[in-house]
A = this chain, B = another copy of it.
């Protein structure tokens, strides 16, 4: 890890630079596959499943007997762990329900706001060596609470034409409506246009590689909403002398194992802590099964020493981390002052892993500085708010003239007329 002592503000943007990727060359591939799926539906999907996943499927729909078998195969200890996580995620997301907002803004003018569930949603769960079933919980649980009626899950099949048992178990536990063995660009294209087998949805959620990310971006051009733009996962830890260096090192490594492009930054006001963490990282790294991945992302990561917590907070808000761990004597200073972060983990016994799996918060979070403008996935991600208004005769008398004046000043006479014609009937 590179240690940087008291960098000037002019250096910050360089220090905080994220790994960037060019996506321009991917875009052509994505556009071609979208066009093909739009035109040829299931036939195109099968072709790409055969090409990219190396398997020919009779049908992409997972059957109920496949789900049944998967449920039986998951060890009961793991099932209990998943159930505990689900219960906590449910508790936290159910608490996010809001009441209707209902106000009389002027006498006779009643305005209100209600949230309604997005009816049809798609969840994308990546495949690969490790089954990311925790993401199924993070997306399907709030979707169910929100009241989405169609929850469609797509995940690529392995060489045997199967989706991991843990993913199928989590999906049925959380009330996913339909599960399809389809991955990558062709999955996002299917959810965007619909095929003979796979239904079209209104919003697509979930992580994925850069192909999936570009495909989700393209989906928005066709009127499908997405949860948020995605980038490599990242963690920033602030630690002072009150932190435990071994714990901090374990957190940095848990982020570093995600991928070689993961970002890990330690900000500290203690030179002693900086060097202790560095030693601990070296020690703990040795025993990791994903050592080579973690080693590479750790070698790109940075320790930034700053003189004051005020300056530290400023730098952290400038970076806008996805995950932010605070182990500080004055933790309230950071809690009150943090403006740009996806999820904040406070104190020595709050590892990022807790939020990744089981504490109840969502792990689908804005990376790449997007926490400056985006929320992580939460209950509202699965709803949209609709406004309603009902105006009485008295109400239109109270605000009618203002509407007429404003509409006229904007040159919109028919907008004015819609009020005038009503006011005239009330003058009789």
Contacts and interface: CB of A to CB of B under 8 A. Distances in A.
The 3 tightest CB contacts between A and B, nearest first, are: A130-B411, A105-B360, A81-B402
Given A290-B413, A343-B386, A418-B353, A360 B116 contact: no
A57 B361 CA distance: 51
Contacts of A385: 375-376, 378, 380
A133 B98 CA distance: 32
A223 B213 CA distance: 13
5 contacts: A133-B406, A134-B406, A247-B422, A257-B415, A374-B384
Interface of A: 77-78, 80-82, 84-85, 87-88, 91-92, 95-96, 98, 101, 103, 105-106, 109, 111, 113, 116-120, 129-134, 166, 202-203, 217, 220-221, 223-225, 229, 244, 246-247, 250-251, 253-254, 256-258, 284, 288-290, 294, 335, 338-362, 366, 368-376, 378, 380, 384-393, 395-396, 399, 401-403, 405-407, 409-419, 421-422, 425
A290 B414 contact: yes
Residue of A78, A106, A117, A415 most packed against chain B (CB within 10 A): A415
How many copies of the polypeptide does the oligomer hold? 2
A200 to B, nearest CB: 10
A-side interface mostly: mixed
B403 A357 contact: yes
A365 to B, nearest CB: 8
Contact of A349 (B253, B370, B392): B392
A155 to B, nearest CB: 14
A312 B338 CA distance: 49
A130 to B, nearest CB: 3
A346 B193 CA distance: 34
A180 B129 CA distance: 52
A416 B353 contact: yes
Contact of A359 (B77, B111, B375, B417): B111
Contact of A355 (B95, B349, B389, B425): B389
B412 A339 contact: no
A339 B119 contact: yes
B130 A357 contact: no
Given A96-B101, A412-B257, A118 B342 contact: no
A72 to B, nearest CB: 16
Given A85-B402, A284-B417, A359-B111, A410 B369 contact: no
Contact of A350 (B116, B203, B256, B391): B391
